[in-house]
Each structure stands twice: as C-alpha cells, then as structure tokens.
Chains A and B, each alone.
Chain A
Amino acid sequence: MTAYIVRRILYAIPILVGVNLVTFVLFFVVNTPDDMARLALGAKRVTPEAIEKWKIERGYDKPLLVNTAAAGGRALTDTVFFEKSVRLFVFDFGNADDGRNIGHEIRTRMWPSLALAVPVLLVGLAVNITFAMSLAFFRATPYDFWGVVLCVAMMSISTLFYIIGGQYLVSKLWSLVPISGYAGGVDAVRFLALPVVIGVVGGIGGASRWYRTIFLEEIGKDYVRTARAKGLSEVAVLFGHVLRNALIPILTGVVVVIPLLFMGSLVTESFFGIPGLGSYTIDAIQAQDFAVVRSMVFLGSVLYIAGLLLTDISYTLVDPRVRFE
C-alpha cells in the first residue's frame, strides 16, 4: 500500500506542473503584467514609470516563459513562470498583489469554509441515505413515486432560490437566525444553522435519487434474498447488507470531495457572508491577482489528487476484494 501511495504521489508531480503551466498560460493570454499593474494602480494618472515600478516590485518585470537574454539554464529559470511556480511545490504561496499573505489567508479562511462544508456533507449524507433507503423500502408505492417526483423537483430548483427563499422566510419573516454573518466559537452555530440546512436541503434531490437507484440495484441481488430468507428484518437487510454493498459508488462521489471541502462554496459563502475560501479565487480573478489565482488552482489540484487517492484507499476499507497492485 505504501508503495502504491508513493507511486501515486510521484505521478501527481507532472500533473501539478502541467496544471500550473496551463493556468499560467491561460492567465497571461488574457492579462499582461502591464494590465495587472494598471488595475492595481487605478485607472487615473498612471505613468509608464509607475507601471514599471509595480512590475519590478512584484517580480513581473522578467520574460514570462523563456528569457532569451539569459544563458544556459537561466533562460528558463530567470522567468516569471519559474520564479512564481517553484515555491508552490513547498506550499510557499507568497503575497497577493494587495500585499496580504496568501498562506495566511488560506489558513484563516479555510476554517469558516470547513465549519460550513463538513456539517453539510455529514448531515446531508445521513439525510440522503435515510431518505433514499426509505424510498427503496417503499419501492413501487405512492410514497416512492411522490418521493422521486419531489427529488426531481428539488433538483430542478437553483441553489440561489433556496438561499434567497430561506433567508427571506427563516431570517427575515420569522427572525429565527441571522440573515448572514459569521462568528467564531459557539456563536458560529447561530450563523451556520441556516446555510447548513439550505446546503442539505439543496442536495437532497440529486443525491437521494441517485442513492435510491444504487440501493434498488443492490436490493434485487441474491445475497439480499438470502438475508431475507434467514429471517432478518428489512431494516437489518437494508442497513446491514444493502448499504455496505452500495457504499463503493457512494464513496466514489463523497470521498473525492472531502479534501475539496477546504475550498468552500462560492455562492453560499457569498450570500451568508461567511469569510471562507469560496469566493477568494473569484475575487482574485476579478482583481487580476495572478498570485492568488495560481495558488488556489494549485491547491485545488493538490486536494483533488488527494481526494482521488483517498477514494482508492477507502475502497479497500469497504470492499475486501479490492487490493492495491
């Protein structure tokens, strides 16, 4: 297993270099360092000298990918790409264009993101599995039919509608929780209650319908009939046997997103004023802050690769037939 993990980590290095290169090229196709300087300095009275000074100060005064003026290996290393990329691999993200330290921002912002995303994932998983299980149990009944209709209806509604409607009903009309905001410690519960509920409700439709399909597929198999023949109750059959065997497709969808929970949710965090990582990248793209964009894309890639690795490992835990080769 260790050899497998090491091998997978080594595979990740060229992927990360590639992701970094693509991000770099895409960003600088749209923006030149001069554009970045102009945006940072403002639209008024910007002189070429001020732009040059900004570029020197932030290390954008060198050629982007190849330095034809430099000799030997320095032709590739004395460039914006190399100097801005090499530190990423030791997770030194440097400073954003506004001077704020990106590592500090990530460390500070990931906790509110996690405080929202982890309960949404766990509660959502419990609710969706239970609901899907109940649909599978009462399959081919009016409850199942209307349950699926409800799922399809809930899938069809935009997250934004849940958020705005939830804020209007729960916070404005009924004054049960604050409309938006965030506080640390126990106070966070007050602010997170509504976004967590909305996150869970918004996910019920798609996930429950999918889980129901997985459960129904398992329910028709021979081992289920055997379990019933042994005289087990339906609850024991469903939760003890069907659920365990249905876990592989569920884990594929769930474990891979666990590391990405750090990255937060753009829309929910924005509407609920949660100072997480969700909107950090979008803000940076709007501000043409390449340092932040590059760091967040790199971090997202690392976390996604970690998620895939975790998924593979989790298979061995739930299915003894799966072995690392």
Chain B
Amino acid sequence: MRRKFTLADFPDQGTRELTAEDYVYQIKRLAHPRVVSPIFGHMSEYIVGLKELGERLQAENRRLAAEHAGRYGRADRNLPWIDLREHPLEGVAVVDRYTYRVLIKGAYPQFVFWLAMPFFAPMPHEADRFYAQRGMSDGRNLNLDWYPVGTGHYMLVEHNPNARMVLERNPHFRGEPYPDEGAPGDAAAGLLADAGKTAPLVDRVVYTREKEAIPYWNKFLQGYYDQSGISSDSFDQAVRLDLDGEARLTPEMQEQGIWLRTSVGTTTYYLAFNFLDPVVGGLAERARKLRQAVSIAVDWEEFISIFSNGRGIAGMGPLPPGIFGYRDGREGLNPVVYEWVDGAPRRKPIAEARQLLAEAGYPNGRDAATGQPLVLYLDTVQRGPSDKPRFDWYRRQFAKLDIQLEIRATDWNRFQEKIRAGNTQLFFLGWNADYPDPENFMFLLNGPQARAKTGGENAANYQNPEYDRLFERMKNMANGPERQAIIDRMTAIARADAPWVWGFHPKDYSLGHGWLYNVKPNHMARNGLKFYRIDPQLREAKRREWNQPVVWPLVLLAVVLAAVALAGVRAYRRRERAAARPSQRPA
C-alpha cells in the first residue's frame, strides 16, 4: 500500500456486468454498522428481516472489533471486511441474474419511489471488499466517497470536491435513447428534437466549486458557466416582473441569448401552531378561530414579494403544485383565508380576521376574560443580523390583530430540540418532497406521527381523528378520482383546523445560455444531465466576443507609476544636490 495514492496506482483494474446480486448487496448495506444509513430506521419498518440483519451485523462488527483491537490496538481504524453475502436477509432474494424480489411488511406503494433513490444504487461486493483493505483510507481517501462505483452515463474522472469535479462519458454504459415522448408543450419547446439519439449527448462535464454568488454570477455572464440560478443580489439585473406577475428577462439578458425557466418546487414552507400548546393548540373552537384569524393576517404574498423577489406562490393547503391531489384555481381556493374575486384569489380583509379573533375570545388582541394582551411566541432559527427584517415583518403581521409577537430566535440544534419536546407555540418550518406522492405531504399532519409523542414528522403535533382515518385510507391508494376525493376532504379538514398557516411554495428560476439545449426543470430527479446538449462552437465564439481583453488600463497604470517614480527620482536628486538648510531650532 506504500505507493498507492490513487486508483490509477493499482495495476489490475476491470469492470463487469451489473446483476441483481449487486442490488441485494446494497440493500444489506443499509443495515451495515459502518455505513451512515439515514433511512435504515425507516426501511427496517418495511423490509422483512432488515432490522434483524442490522442486529446480527452489529454483533458481528463488535466481535470483529474486539479481535482486531487485540491484534492491532483499539486505536486502529482498519476493521476487517464483512462479507454481506454470508449474511442472509430474509425479505430480499435474488430470483435470477437480472431479477430480485423484496418482501415488505403491509402495503407500501411508495416503496417504489425509494428504490429510485441513491440509497438503493447497486453495489458490487468486489468494490466493497477492495475499499475495506487495510490502509486504504489512511490519509489517502481511497474509499467509496472519493472513488464511487456505478454503471451510469458518466464516470467521475476527477474528484476534488474543494475545487472541481469532472465527469466523462462512461464507455461501458449500456446506452439509453433520448425520449421521443414528453409532456404537453415539450415538443413545441424543442425538447424532443434529439429524440432517439443515444444519451449522454455531452462527452465531458466540469463542475467547478464557487463558494460566493457574485463571482459565480459574473462568470455565468462571461459565458464560463452554461447554467445559473439567480441569487437575490442579481435578481434585478436578470429578471423583471410584469404587471401580471410574470417573470421576464431583462433586455441585457435577452441580448446575450440567455433563457429563463421557472417552475414551482415540490416544497412547502409553513408557520405551524403547536397543537400541544394550551393557547393555540387543540381542536376547541376558541383555538381554531385564533389560528384562522392569524392565517388571514399573515400575508404570505407580501412575504414572497419582499423576501423572495416574488419567487413563490402562496399555499392553499398542504400539497404543492405538481403533486397528485393539488388543485389549481378556484377549485383549489382555501376558503378560510381567501375569497374568489375577479377570477383570482384575494386574501380576506383584516376586519374578518379581527372578528374571528374576537369570537375566539380576544377582542382587539386582549383576553376578554382577563383583559391581558394576547402574547404569542414564535420559535425560529437565527442565522445572523440579516434575519432582523424577517422578524420585524412577522411582528407586523401579528400587530394587525393587536397580538404581541415575541420572537424566540435560537440556533438550529436548540430549535429542533424544542420541536422534539413540543416546547413551542409557533414555528416556521418547511418540507421538500422525498417522492411525488401526496402521502409524502399529508403525513406531515398525521396524528400518529406527532413529533413530540413518536418522533415522527408531524412537527405541529396536529391530531384530528377524521383526518387520521382518511389518511390511513388514502396513503396506499392508487391515484384516481377516489383518492382525489379523500385528499379534498382531508385538505378541507386541515384548512378548517388551520394547524399551519399555509405558507408558500418557492418558485425556482433557472437561467441558461443559448448554446445549452434540452434543459427541463425536475424537482424529483437530478438526472437530466444525460439529455443536455451543447453547441460548443457557439459557446466558444460568444466567450471570445464577450471577453475581449481591455489593455489600456494596464498601460495607463504603468505610465502613472512610471511618472510618479520619475518625479520621485528627480525630487530625490534635487534634494541630494541642495545645500544643507540652516537649523530651524530657535536660537
């Protein structure tokens, strides 16, 4: 191992066909005690025998570690390899060379989505064994993190996460034709022009690490990056919003041939009420009306406009656009917060919110029984002084109802701790879809998954028996009218109970140069690179055109420095030749 620093230092290299055994091996790795496996807990609830395998592997690992410590000392980290092929997993079996079977507990249709995630990417046992050799990771990073193994369109030929990563076409790739069918509008947008060609369409892809937004943006404008997002700093330079709220590129961007694609993310941000809190929580009418009043008062349209440059749409319920069950337009209106006026939703007047607040027992923001002002507490994460405008904005929203809002800002760890303990009243949180199924959002309000009781993802600890019953029916159904009807009913229940102030779904803006083709936003999968196409001649020509060096400032600087130096030399000589001055000391 002394002379081995990269994979290229190993004389024997090779490849082989992908088989079902490699998938099974990877599923077993989910239970491996030495592999960081965030989904092990979740998967062991479903895959038959995975939990037991985890326990057996833990025991085996402990045995090996004890033996190893006796031989090399406790400090040595090179534990011997565990051959997972020798450890059967009850619920997973190889059927034939190209087929494997997974047995799961109960019905879990969303399992197929998990299979498409990186956790289930196949792993050849040879690679696992190779990297487990003694000394591989001692100061050399000869491990899977640094040298991944796969069968995809590209190979990682340069991996320096601090500076850049380079992908090159994988010569062993099986080949995949560019799709000849797409969503409505794809053909008109030119996205099917390469139908039938073998992907990938680009031979080499270079990712460069930019830590700061300004250099990244400027290099994009110079043509050194093909694609870019838009940071808040450069938003006005790139995009103007029409009177109807539509985003348009500025004339400068259009002149450069830059295109803009926008899409609403499968993400939701929300302000949650803790249902365990005696003031804002629970299904009592008083608390429900208080939550509804706050829901009307917190103006997310304004928030999106001020803090996100208009990049987002206000939420009407738990589901974002793009997920089955989401309804657009009047059908999707949240009647608790909005009314339909002139063909568009309009937030209800603040007087209505004040009325609800009075009905809740807090006329003019004071407790009718005690006369004390109503004070609510918002827990949030503070990242720095730049958060102050956001906090002020929150206070202003509650002040519309004469409610005093106290912001309890803290760091991420303490914030999470409070939520886990149910020790909050209001808090701001978000959720990004794991997979495109309504279950992945509706479960965030499912009572049995309350965070404080079970550690689940229902951070608001919302509990409504009817909602929970409907969730159990809905979660395993196939998409269709029946499922839609149940989702509509669940959404209506949640809107009326208002456990969240339905916040907003962010809109992603993506910019690209005219020489980059076949780019279509996809919030679920990051595998569109294989379909990208580049016009390298046009890119080169534009780069040259946009980046002609301007030399005169250098010449001017040289002249100025030379003039200063010359003047200095002359002054020095004059001074050296001058006669000594008489002392200026008083006589």
For residues 263 through 305 of chain A, which have their beta carbon under 8 Å from a beta carbon of chain B?
270-273, 275, 279, 288
A164 and B38 within 8 A (CB): no
Task: State the CA gap A83–B146 with chains docked (Å).
Answer: 26
Q: Does A137 contact B (CB under 8 A)?
A: yes
A180 and B413 contact, Cβ closer than 8 Å, known pairs A41-B38, A174-B553: no
Contact with B140, one of A98, A101, A109, A138 (Cβ below 8 angstroms): A101
For residues 86 through 102 of chain A, which have their beta carbon under 8 Å from a beta carbon of chain B?
87, 94-95, 98-101
A50 and B548 contact, Cβ closer than 8 Å, known pairs A179-B215, A180-B219: no
Q: Does A46 contact B (CB under 8 A)?
A: yes
Task: State the CA gap A157–B29 with chains docked (Å).
Answer: 54
Task: Select the stretch in A2-10, A30-38, A208-216 that faces chain B.
Answer: A30-38
Q: Does A173 contact B (CB under 8 A)?
A: yes
Q: How far is the CB of B227 from chain A (nearest CB, A)?
A: 17
- Taking CB atoms, residues of chain B closer than 8 Å to A178 are 219, 224
> Quick one: CB contact mask for A224-241 with B, threshold 8 Å, 1 for yes?
000000000111000000
Q: Does A119 contact B (CB under 8 A)?
A: no
Q: Does B416 contact A (CB under 8 A)?
A: yes
B457 and A45 within 8 A (CB): yes
A273 and B208 within 8 A (CB): yes
Task: State the CA gap A109–B36 with chains docked (Å).
Answer: 26
A176 and B208 within 8 A (CB): no
**Most chain A beta-carbon neighbours within 10 Å: one of B36, B75, B222:** B36
Task: State the CA gap A103–B211 with chains docked (Å).
Answer: 22
Q: How far is the CB of B107 from chain A (nearest CB, A)?
A: 19
Q: How far is the CB of A231 from chain B (nearest CB, A)?
A: 11
Q: Does B163 contact A (CB under 8 A)?
A: yes
> Quick one: CB contact mask for B508-551 with A, threshold 8 Å, 1 for yes?
00000000000000000000000000000000000000011111
**Most chain A beta-carbon neighbours within 10 Å: one of B38, B77, B141, B575:** B38
Q: How far is the CB of B74 from chain A (nearest CB, A)?
A: 8
- Taking CB atoms, residues of chain A closer than 8 Å to B548 are 175
Q: Does B41 contact A (CB under 8 A)?
A: yes
Q: Does A42 contact B (CB under 8 A)?
A: yes
B550 and A275 within 8 A (CB): no
- Taking CB atoms, residues of chain B closer than 8 Å to A20 are none
B214 and A271 within 8 A (CB): yes
- Taking CB atoms, residues of chain A closer than 8 Å to B146 are 100
User: What is the interface residue range for chain A against chain B?
Assistant: 35 or more
B38 and A50 within 8 A (CB): yes
Q: Does B210 contact A (CB under 8 A)?
A: yes
Task: State the CA gap A94–B33 with chains docked (Å).
Answer: 19
B215 and A56 within 8 A (CB): no
- Taking CB atoms, residues of chain B closer than 8 Å to A168 are 218
Q: Does A49 contact B (CB under 8 A)?
A: yes
A234 and B576 within 8 A (CB): yes
> Quick one: CB contact mask for A59-97 with B, threshold 8 Å, 1 for yes?
000000000000000000000000100010000001100
A57 and B34 within 8 A (CB): yes
- Taking CB atoms, residues of chain A closer than 8 Å to B219 are 178-180
B141 and A101 within 8 A (CB): yes
Q: Does A206 contact B (CB under 8 A)?
A: no
Q: How far is the CB of B232 from chain A (nearest CB, A)?
A: 16
Q: Which residue of A lies closest to B208 (CB)?
A: A181
Q: Which residues of B contact A (CB under 8 A)?
A: 33-34, 36-42, 75, 77, 137-141, 143, 145-146, 160-163, 208-212, 214-215, 218-219, 221-222, 224, 411-413, 416, 434, 455, 457, 547-551, 553-554, 568, 571-572, 575-576
Given known contacts A104-B140, A176-B549, what 4 new A-B pairs fall within 8 Å (CB)? A53-B37, A104-B139, A108-B162, A275-B162
A-B CB contact pairs (8 Å), 10 listed: A30-B413, A43-B416, A48-B455, A87-B75, A167-B218, A178-B224, A179-B218, A233-B576, A234-B575, A273-B215
